[in-house]
Amino acid sequence: MNNCLRAIELMERISGCTTGSCSPFYRTEPVGVQGHEWYINAVISLSTHLSAHRLIVQLQAIEKVMGRKRERKWAPRPIDLDILIFGQEILKNKDLMVPHPLMHLRRFVLVPMVDLAPDLVHPVLGKRMIDLLTALPEEGQTVIPVGET
């Protein structure tokens, strides 16, 4: 959880960004990989006048400062910062896809997202976050509030 808190501190220092609400932190079962420790996940809202491309550059700089090395997809890492939704923008290029292309399939994203914005509508799917979460099975995607066992 300390890495998440540190990342939030660093996001607060991005010129042109203001951090907003932060969901509770969750321990989450790894999805799509075997043998990894459970992760800590949360969602934070940001207000910015930066473009999505400029913001992701800033977020990746934070990841690098915190020790992330991009050696292989889904490798264990000290921090992973994503742009899940950027207003109503829809971006699809090799460097950035917004909304995040897998967010609607991941409880570790949707549970904390619903804490912040249950009625937020996915700009591509046209469904509220709470409805996307309700449609997902829990099997293989356990999400536990930090502090609970």
Provide the annotated active-site residues.
68, 77, 80, 82
> For the chain, how are helix, strand and coil distributed in percent, rounded to 5?
30, 15, 55
Residue corresponding to tokens 């742009």: 83
Q: Measured between alpha carbons, how far is 129 from 126 in angstroms, rounded to an integer? A: 10
Q: What is the DSSP letter of 128?
A: B
Structure token digits, residue 105: 């399939």
Q: Measured between alpha carbons, how far is 39 from 49 in angstroms, rounded to an integer? A: 30
